[in-house]
């Protein structure tokens, strides 16, 4: 009998995230030989399911899976039924974990709504399923719904399990390219260019051609600003704004940079919503005609905004974020415009590459590209980082809270920002494209 040393306890194992992302990613990790032989996944849910194998059968796997790999993964899954807010139902989970012995590391992954985070952790502690010193907590976005709720949730969780073991998932930090920005900035010649005297502006772009993918209940409460800018793009931007010469932790430096951000008074925030259009020659419906969306919804599916930093080292530099759904193409990149008029682009999608790399480090840039192209992507990278405790892939609660704080002026006055319609398959609302012309010019190159 295998003695398990790494155990993933997956809450939300019957949900769409587990079905569409987590189980297919576990399959890929098994296929690549990354899942240890002593790995076990305890799948937690409220449904009556006989085995973890049944969950794997329901998942969004490709049709041509290798039966040997599939069976190997299935043998590493167990199912445990409980009610996540009922302490009395946690006894079976506690028993499973106790039977695994005293050396096992426990990775609790909560792929559930933020409203359940405290109840689950409270029950884990109350049932003695949480073992201090060898338990780790991983939480999906969103973390709270504004600055105050985020800080309150962080404090409540810290009171239960401490701060060091709480990790917030951000899959953009696992994207080869944009998520590897610190590695790129560390190249000698790049480090010399990365300052306010050389850089005019830094732009983070994340466009998608897809819509909301049957996530109306979630997206209607979030919108593009909360779903993408707060959760992802501000964190990517922070990788471009922090000092790389200090000895303090990356998390501490990111907190300093995020705290320094202020909305630019020169450029307005633009929000929009897609109307009927065409993408890749296929007609697509407007947001308000999506299943589960009301025809009077004002939820934004597009957002563009500009920040400045009050840090002296970034005086005179502007930072832009640009994101939307049902746009012409999927594109994820950091676009740096220099005062000389030259530019540099670090791209994750549609291709992993660096454009405009100075000739002094051309060879190093090409080597980085090759390394990034071999890296894992998406939830494969997240799950590997979880099991092997790769801290760069996760946020602290303080970083997430500062993301909310940076957006507070907008979030407190959303009614002041008119939601502009844009045709699906375009690059966004016409007025936004005029305002954010540097980004629009870049997008039109694709």
Task: Give Cα 113 distance to the centre of its chain.
Answer: 15
CB atoms within 10 A of CB 17: 15
Alpha-carbon distance of 413 to 426, in angstroms, equals 27
The band of 49, judged by pLDDT with boundaries at 50, 70 and 90, is: confident
More confident residue, 58 or 415: 415
Give mean pLDDT, residues 262-291: 95
Give mean pLDDT, residues 324-339: 97
| Whether pLDDT at 62 is above 80 | no
* CB distance 106 to 97 below 8 Å: yes
Alpha-carbon distance of 43 to 28, in angstroms, equals 18
DSSP structure class, residue 265 = S
Alpha-carbon distance of 69 to 26, in angstroms, equals 10
* CB distance 225 to 413 below 8 Å: no
Instruction: Say what the pLDDT of residue 251 is.
Output: 87
* CB distance 165 to 124 below 8 Å: no
The alpha carbon torsion through 437, 442, 443, 444 (nearest 10 deg) reads: 90
Residue 441 tokens read as 């010019």
In this predicted model, what pLDDT tens digit does every residue of 390-402 receive, in sequence order? Answer: 888 899 888 999 9
More confident residue, 271 or 268: 271
* Phi, psi torsion values for 106, nearest 5 degrees: -110, 120
Alpha-carbon distance of 321 to 439, in angstroms, equals 9
Sequence-separated (6 or more) residues with CB below 8 Å from residue 397? 143, 150, 151, 153, 154, 157, 158, 163, 166, 168
Bridge-based pairing state of the strands 166-169 and 277-279: unpaired
* CB distance 206 to 235 below 8 Å: no
Helix then strand then coil, % of the chain, to nearest 5: 45, 20, 35
Coil, strand or helix: which one is 95? helix
* Helical (H) or strand (E) element with 394: strand 394-395
The band of 232, judged by pLDDT with boundaries at 50, 70 and 90, is: very high
More confident residue, 429 or 52: 429
* Helical (H) or strand (E) element with 168: strand 166-169
Residue 36 tokens read as 């240890």
| Whether pLDDT at 1 is above 60 | no
The label of the residue with tokens 């997956």 reads 10
Using a 10 angstrom Cβ sphere, with 0-12 exposed, 13-18 middle and 19 or more buried, the burial of residue 285 is: middle
Using a 10 angstrom Cβ sphere, with 0-12 exposed, 13-18 middle and 19 or more buried, the burial of residue 45 is: buried
What does each C-alpha distance from 197 to 313, 317, 323, 337, 338 come to in angstroms? 9, 9, 27, 12, 9
- What's the mean pLDDT when you consider all of the chain? 93
Alpha-carbon distance of 358 to 377, in angstroms, equals 27
What is the CB-side half-sphere exposure of residue 310 using CA atoms within 13 A? 8
Which residues does residue 423 pair with via DSSP β-bridges, in sequence order? Answer: 275
| Whether pLDDT at 308 is above 60 | yes
List the alpha helices (DSSP H) in 162-246: 181-185, 188-193, 216-224, 234-241
Coil, strand or helix: which one is 132? coil
The band of 2, judged by pLDDT with boundaries at 50, 70 and 90, is: low
Rounded percentage of the chain residues whose pLDDT exceeds 70: 99
Which residues does residue 422 pair with via DSSP β-bridges, in sequence order? Answer: 274
Rounded percentage of the chain residues whose pLDDT exceeds 90: 78
In this predicted model, what pLDDT tens digit does every residue of 26-48 receive, in sequence order? Answer: 999 999 999 988 899 999 998 88
What does each C-alpha distance from 106 to 10, 31, 81, 109, 372 come to in angstroms? 11, 23, 18, 10, 29
Give mean pLDDT, residues 169-196: 92
CB atoms within 10 A of CB 75: 12
Lowest mean pLDDT among 4-8, 171-175, 246-250, 403-407: 246-250
* CB distance 386 to 28 below 8 Å: no
Give mean pLDDT, residues 129-153: 93
Alpha-carbon distance of 198 to 208, in angstroms, equals 31
* Helical (H) or strand (E) element with 274: strand 270-275
Alpha-carbon distance of 192 to 199, in angstroms, equals 11
């Amino acid at each position: 009998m295998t003695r398990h040393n790494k155990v993933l306890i997956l809450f939300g194992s019957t949900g769409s995230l587990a079905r569409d992302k987590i189980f297919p990613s576990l399959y890929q990790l098994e296929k690549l030989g990354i899942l240890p032989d002593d790995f076990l996944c305890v799948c937690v849910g409220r449904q009556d399911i006989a085995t973890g194998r049944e969950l794997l059968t329901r998942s969004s796997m490709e049709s041509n899976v290798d039966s040997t790999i599939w069976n190997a993964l299935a043998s590493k899954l167990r199912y445990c039924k409980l009610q996540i807010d009922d302490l009395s139902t946690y006894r079976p989970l506690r028993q499973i974990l106790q039977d695994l012995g005293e050396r096992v590391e426990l990775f609790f992954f909560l792929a559930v709504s933020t409203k359940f985070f405290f109840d689950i952790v409270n029950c884990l502690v109350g049932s003695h399923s949480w073992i201090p010193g060898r338990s780790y907590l991983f939480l999906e976005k969103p973390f709270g719904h504004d600055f105050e709720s985020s800080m309150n949730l962080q404090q409540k969780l810290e009171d239960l399990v401490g701060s060091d073991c709480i990790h917030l998932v951000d899959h953009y930090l696992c994207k080869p390219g944009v998520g590897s920005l610190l590695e790129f900035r560390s190249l000698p010649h790049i480090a010399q260019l990365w300052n306010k005297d050389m850089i005019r502006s830094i732009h983070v772009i994340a466009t998608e051609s897809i819509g909301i993918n049957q996530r109306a209940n979630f997206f209607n409460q979030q919108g593009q600003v909360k779903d993408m800018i707060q959760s992802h793009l501000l964190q990517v931007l922070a990788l471009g704004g922090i000092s790389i010469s200090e000895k303090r932790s990356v998390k501490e430096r990111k907190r300093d940079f995020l705290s320094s951000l202020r909305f630019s008074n020169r450029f307005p925030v633009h929000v929009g919503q897609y109307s009927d259009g065409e993408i890749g020659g296929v007609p697509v419906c407007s947001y308000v005609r999506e299943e589960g969306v009301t025809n009077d919804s004002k939820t934004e599916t597009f957002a563009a905004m500009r920040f400045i930093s009050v840090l002296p080292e970034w005086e005179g530099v502007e930072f832009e974020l640009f994101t939307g759904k049902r746009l012409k193409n999927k594109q994820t990149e950091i676009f740096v415009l220099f005062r000389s008029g030259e530019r540099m682009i670090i791209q994750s999608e549609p291709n992993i590459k660096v454009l405009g790399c100075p000739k002094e480090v051309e060879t190093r840039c090409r080597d980085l590209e090759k390394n990034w192209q071999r890296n894992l992507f998406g939830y494969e990278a997240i799950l590997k980082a979880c099991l092997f405790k790769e801290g760069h892939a996760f946020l602290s609660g303080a970083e997430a809270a500062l993301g909310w704080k940076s957006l507070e002026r907008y979030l407190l006055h959303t009614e002041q920002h008119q939601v502009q319609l844009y045709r699906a398959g375009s690059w966004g609302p016409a007025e936004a494209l005029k305002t954010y012309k540097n980004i629009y010019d870049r997008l039109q190159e694709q």
